[in-house]
Structure 1
Amino acid sequence: MAKKPFINKYGFVEYPFLHDTRKGQNWWFFNLLEDYLKRRCKHRLGDEYTKNDMEVDMMGFLHETKLKFFALVPVGMGMEFKLIGKYRSEDLMHLEDPVPFIGETYGGGKFKVNIYHEGTFAGTENYKTHGEPKWVEIPDDD
């Protein structure tokens, strides 16, 4: 299971995946795609697949995936998802952590990132940044 950075009880950010060199870069793509990769590997290899099999599979199709960024806006008792950005995954592969990118590009708030492989929903992850929101809703042409 891929791990996320977290704030320990002393207020410092810890990165539990630093000992695992495979997750040094693109760890957040692995988080987005983990369940999808498990299903693909189980279908292709059976119950005997390993994390390495998942990593190899991910690197084989990652350049074909697309990302959509949504702002989560409270409305009444629920949330509305406003589309604020669309990217090809290869344009964001250089990022080691998506949170600073989201904060610089879209400002503060709560955000959802969905990843799609060949038009099929493959995974999602939520992020939170601090500051004033500066995102703008865009139309969805898909």
Structure 2
Amino acid sequence: MKLDKVDIKILNHLAGDGRIGWKELADKIGLSLTPTLRRVRLLEEAGYIQGYFARLDEARLAGELVVFVSVAMDKQEQEALLNFEKRIVQVPQVMSCFLMTGDADYLLRVVVKDLNTFQSFLTDTLTRIPGVAHIKSSFALKSVLNRTAPPL
């Protein structure tokens, strides 16, 4: 499916307000209700829209301390990597996990309420995952930009 200008308008409006009413969306993009709904359904079926969610206040709910943690594994074998991934997705403090190139194998974005909680995360969780060889942490001072949708 190739996106046109109307599809991009729909995606931009839904990215800004996932609870927008169908009639209001139709008015904003300049179509009637039925074609708008048809286009939204096609965007969903094609995978451009993967779901709808509420954006929660991360700092209020989980804590204000954001830490980027680089993890190097002792082996880059498939089994070790899959085991790490299986374990890390179960850790609620880990908000994002990326398999990386370069010095680290993984980059985690971790959110905790304070340094003691982060220390517990390191000593009780991360260092206990088999295969973790090196950990490097960088603390975020402030969030400058945090987009919720890619550029269209």
TM-score range, shorter chain: under 0.3
The structure in which a higher percent of residues are strand is 1
The structure in which a higher percent of residues are helix is 2
TM-score (norm 2): 0.23
RCO (CA 8 Å, sep 6+): is it higher in 1 or 2?
2
